[in-house]
Structure 1
Amino acid sequence: MKTFSLLLLVVSPLSIVVNARSNIRDAPSTTVDIQDGQTGVVMVVPPRRTDTGTKRIPDADHPFIAPGPNDMRGPCPGMNTLANHGYISRNGITTFEEIIEGTGEAFNIDLTMGVGMAALNMLARGNAFVNKISIGGISPLVPPLPGQIDGPETRGIAAHGRGEGDASMTRSDVHIGDNRNFNQTLWDEDLEVLAQFGDDGPDGPATVFNLQTLIELKRQNLESDQVLDPEFAIPIRRYNLVFGTTGLATKRIISSFFMNQTFPDNWFRAAAPVLGGPVPGEILAALPEWVPGHNDENGVFVADPQAPAPFNISLTCATYWDNFANAVPATLVNVTGVFKQNVDMLEGLLFNASGCAEPVAPAGPTNV
């Protein structure tokens, strides 16, 4: 029986193969850069971990503590779980380095994958000058970009449109419901699919999420939301799911993450660093009727234009183009000082991962 984990961590490139060494800074710069009353913080790619075997998670230093009323939480069960256990800041305001280190320690996400996830989210929804990002919504702890070049607020990864999008397993589309918090009705529908297609496991019959279950779940999510959401959209960057961590994706394990946003009892991280896998591609291949697209004014689903040459050579390269053309704000092109150092590093990491022959400058809309 083929087994794998279902945990959706964050929206990120479908395939991350980062040549991180060429972008690592051995230590933060001591240069002080103040812009618009904010002090710049130079980002540094953390060193590759040497402790990469399996271990029980959480350990005694990371107990579950439910979030308080001012703590940020968002649509990603993985990030919420990390915050609830203190693998990233419990208030939900985190940094580039902390995302990489937290996902590495708790989920054994390989450095190269962690770097790509953190870089994209920081460019699209964080403040890359002060190195802060909210895993939920707007927070006074994450100021607007200097000069408010992306609007008067930094919105966090829960904001719709750049990374967060439609057809979630456990969150409503933003145009028809709550896109941030767990939706029991959607989860009950997911469990009906599991009961029909799942494998038998240690917790009983039809309790293991196999590949067919995931295919049918995604088919159900796409078909339902396309009908219910008049503004439904699934751009190519939204096709990016990250799977991996445990060896067996059971109803008990996945329910713990999705419903309670805590690690299951007696849970162990992966025995080797996780660097993607074939499952997302296999899901896409099984759903050829679904291509990147959106509903038109009549509620009819229409395909998006393909990425232009030379970015149409692969799904990964097209995704890279889509992120920079539509999700990373164009105003990042003209930043200076430490801000530019950080943006250049993050852009370089993602270009290295893309497989594209040439880079794309940020060109996305601002204040969205």
Structure 2
Amino acid sequence: MVGFISFVTLAIALAAPVTAFPAHVSLAGLSREELDMAMSGFGPYSTPPPPPGPLEFGGTKLVNDAEHPFMDPKDTDIRGPCPALNTLANHGYINRNGIDTPSNIVRAAMEGFNMHNNLAKFTCYSAFVVNGNMVTDLLSIGEKSAKTGPDPPQPAIVGGLNTHNVFEGDSSMTRADFYDNGDVESFNETLFQGFIEYSYRFGGGRYNLTAAGEYRLKRTLDGIQNNPTFTIASPRLFSAYSESVNPINLWVDGRQDDGQLRLDHARSFFEAARFPDDFHRPARPMTADNEEVVLAAHPIEPGGNINGVNTYTVDPNSPRLPDKCSIYEHHVNYTLRTLYPNPTGNLLDAIRANVHYFYTSVQERGCTEIYPYGRVEDGENNAYYASPDFPEVDLPDYGTFPYPPVDLPEYCDTPAPAAVEAAPETAAEAAPEALAT
């Protein structure tokens, strides 16, 4: 993980402002940690609640509805590098100020985008345990914020999703690399034009898995050739490929249901962070398993530039993309342990709970649960989270349309320039040998 350790050790914790102590909370019997938390306006500590289970109804429905109108964010609201989370905030599925709990974010990802419960938990908790405040149970979807509560001891950063190389990372489709100017959250029109170009060249004017495979390779090569600090090792490896397929899985209208993303809809999400008018979420809970289709188009070994541009070197210690169990284990045993080497008290309890919630996202894959800080003291009951009796999810049959395909109106993105026709069929010939498996 190139540059990760040096970044963490140089991170400076920001002191949270002290607010008036809530009158309804008693000081009696509070531990030192609980008193610190209460005096900061966040109340006494309690073990964070578990994530929600699957939706009761898992089919398509209108999500750009009267209960979730689009509103431009206020100047004080936080937005970040993830267009999907920005969209959920702009429509009120999560707190419009950009600060929310991981369990609410999981619920919103399922409600707004019909993201599969396990994928929502995997994505959210992998980010939360490194970027969020586990004691207050709050996460910023963008920049670091005192609104998430007092910082734990360094080298923990609680930096929000803008933090480079722990979840956000290089080779985004529509956001610049951190190396370029440090701005990882602003929409980049130049990169989006590349997205459009590849969608025309390889997707017939739509963004699909074929276009995704080629554009993922292009953005990786862009990083290798232009960014001396470029890395696409774990944990960025997972989020990079999720970013490639999630627009196909989550942003295609559920009544269309064909894996072909309209470019006007892509712009609406990427640039405006807004559901298109009359947008219906996907027809069934969506996983990101088709990221392996994108990887197979141009297999890439995880790694990064180690000595300037064009020095891409495979990282033998980074888990490979298809192995979600190893990604979970590496994230917990390496990334998390680097940030939290010796947690105690309430922080330790919160970490144990959240690491377990993260594990539930890969439990069905047969992964072994990891206890990076040991099992709980009694040695008997480590079940922070027992799944309730969820109702059966009402799903349409796979491979069928819940409604007839809709007639798609014309949209305004112009075709790629004529120069594209003379470009190589793919960028694969320019790939360094180190990329290939």
Q: TM-score higher than 0.5 here? A: yes
Quote the Cα distance in structure 2 between the aligned partners of 1:312 and 1:303: 11
TM alignment of 1:120-269, pairs within 5 A: 120-146=126-152, 148-151=153-156, 154-177=158-181, 178-199=183-204, 206=205, 208-240=206-238, 241-242=241-242, 243=246, 244-245=249-250, 246=252, 247=257, 248-269=260-281
Pairwise CA distance, 1:273: 1.8
Quick one: which amino acid aligns to residue 283 of structure 2? A
Match of residue 76 from structure 1 = 82
TM alignment of 1:210-359, pairs within 5 A: 210-240=208-238, 241-242=241-242, 243=246, 244-245=249-250, 246=252, 247=257, 248-277=260-289, 279-288=290-299, 290-299=300-309, 300-307=311-318, 315-330=323-338, 332=340, 334-352=342-360, 353=362, 355-357=366-368, 359=370
The answer to which of 251-260 and 240-249 deviates more is 240-249
Aligned length: 318
Quick one: which amino acid aligns to residue 177 of structure 2? D
Quick one: which amino acid aligns to residue 121 of structure 1? A
Aligned partner of 1:118 among 113, 120, 124: 124
Quote the Cα distance in structure 1 between the aligned partners of 2:355 and 2:178: 28
CA deviations 1:334-358 (Å, max 9, x no partner) are 4344433332122123334164446
Quote the Cα distance in structure 2 between the aligned partners of 1:125 and 1:70: 20
Contact 2:98 2:140 in 1 (8 A): yes
Residues 137/264 of structure 1: CA separation in 2 closer, same or farther (3 Å cut): same
RMSD between superposed Cα atoms in Å: 2.4
Residues 267/32 of structure 1: CA separation in 2 closer, same or farther (3 Å cut): farther
Quote the Cα distance in structure 2 between the aligned partners of 1:220 and 1:260: 24
Quote the Cα distance in structure 2 between the aligned partners of 1:110 and 1:313: 18
Using the aligned pairs only, state the percent identity. 30
Pairwise CA distance, 1:87: 0.3
> 1:36 and 2:7 equivalent?
no
Quote the Cα distance in structure 2 between the aligned partners of 1:131 and 1:357: 25
The answer to which of 314-323 and 128-137 deviates more is 314-323
Match of residue 14 from structure 1 = none
Quote the Cα distance in structure 1 between the aligned partners of 2:287 and 2:94: 20
Contact 2:302 2:320 in 1 (8 A): no
Of structures 1 and 2, the one with the larger relative CO (CA 8 A, separation 6+) is 1
Contact 1:306 1:312 in 2 (8 A): no
Pairwise CA distance, 1:275: 2.9
CA deviations 1:312-350 (Å, max 9, x no partner) are 896212322332244324454643444333321221233
Structure 2 unaligned spans of 5+: 1-28, 39-43, 374-437
Contact 1:321 1:360 in 2 (8 A): no
Quick one: which amino acid aligns to residue 137 of structure 1? E
Pairwise CA distance, 1:195: 1.6
Quote the Cα distance in structure 2 between the aligned partners of 1:135 and 1:68: 15
The answer to which of 209-218 and 162-171 deviates more is 209-218
TM-score, normalised relative to structure 1: 0.79
Match of 1:294, SS state, is strand
Quick one: which amino acid aligns to residue 105 of structure 1? E
Quote the Cα distance in structure 2 between the aligned partners of 1:313 and 1:139: 31
Residues 331/216 of structure 1: CA separation in 2 closer, same or farther (3 Å cut): closer
Contact 1:87 1:102 in 2 (8 A): yes
